[in-house]
Copies of this chain bind each other. A is one copy, B any other.
Amino acid sequence: MKWEENVRRVVPYTPGEQPEKTGIIKLNTNENPYPPAPGVEAAMAAMEIDKLRLYPAFPEKTELAKALSEHYRIGTDQIFIGVGSDDVLSMAFLTFFNSGQPIFFPDITYSFYDVWAEVYKIPYEVKPLDESFQIRPQDYTQPNGGVVFPNPNAPTGELLSLDMVEEIVRNNRDVVVIVDEAYIDFGGTSALPLIEKYDNMLVVQTFSKSRSMAGMRIGYAMGQPRLIRYLNDVKYSVNSYTMNTAALALGVEAVRDEAYFEQCCHKIIQTRTRAEQELARLGFQFPKSCANFIFASHKSVSAREIFERLKENDIYVRWWDKERIKNFLRITIGTEEQMEALYQALEKIV
Q: Which of B12, B13, B90, B242 contacts A217 (CB 8 A)?
A: B242
Chain B residue nearest to A176 (CB atoms) is B3
User: Which DSSP category, helix, strand, loop or mixed, fits chain A's interface?
Assistant: loop
- A32, CB-defined interface residue at 8 Å: yes
Q: Mark A1-38, 1 if CB is under 8 A from B, else 0.
A: 11111111111111100101000001001011111100
- Asked if B237 contacts A216 (CB within 8 A), the reply is no
- Asked if B44 contacts A94 (CB within 8 A), the reply is no
Shortest Cβ distance from A347 into chain B, in angstroms? 27
In the complex, which residues of chain B have a beta carbon less than 8 angstroms from the beta carbon of A15? 55, 236, 240-241
Give residues of chain A (232-278) contacting chain B, Cβ–Cβ below 8 Å.
Answer: 232-247, 250
Q: Which of B12, B52, B56, B96 contacts A236 (CB 8 A)?
A: B12
- Asked if B1 contacts A199 (CB within 8 A), the reply is yes
In the complex, which residues of chain B have a beta carbon less than 8 angstroms from the beta carbon of A83? 83, 239, 241-242, 244
In the complex, which residues of chain B have a beta carbon less than 8 angstroms from the beta carbon of A164? none
Interface window among A112-120, A123-131, A306-314: A112-120
Q: Mark A32-72, 1 if CB is under 8 A from B, else 0.
A: 11111000110010010111111111100100000000000
* A residues adjacent to B (C-beta < 8 A): 1-15, 18, 20, 26, 29, 31-36, 40-41, 44, 47, 49-58, 61, 83-84, 86-87, 90, 94-99, 112, 115-116, 118-119, 145-146, 173-176, 199-200, 208, 212-217, 226, 230, 232-247, 250
List, sorted by A's number, 21 A–B pairs whose CB atoms are closer than 8 Å. Answer: A1-B199, A2-B173, A3-B174, A4-B226, A5-B99, A6-B175, A15-B55, A29-B55, A35-B49, A35-B52, A36-B50, A36-B53, A52-B212, A53-B212, A55-B214, A86-B241, A87-B239, A116-B238, A118-B237, A216-B244, A216-B245
In the complex, which residues of chain B have a beta carbon less than 8 angstroms from the beta carbon of A173? 2-3
Considering the chains assembled together, what is the distance between the CA atoms of A35 and B50 in angstroms?
5
Q: Which of B13, B51, B98, B233 contacts A215 (CB 8 A)?
A: B51
Considering the chains assembled together, what is the distance between the CA atoms of A309 and B199 in angstroms?
43
Considering the chains assembled together, what is the distance between the CA atoms of A238 and B50 in angstroms?
31
In the complex, which residues of chain B have a beta carbon less than 8 angstroms from the beta carbon of A230? 4, 7-8
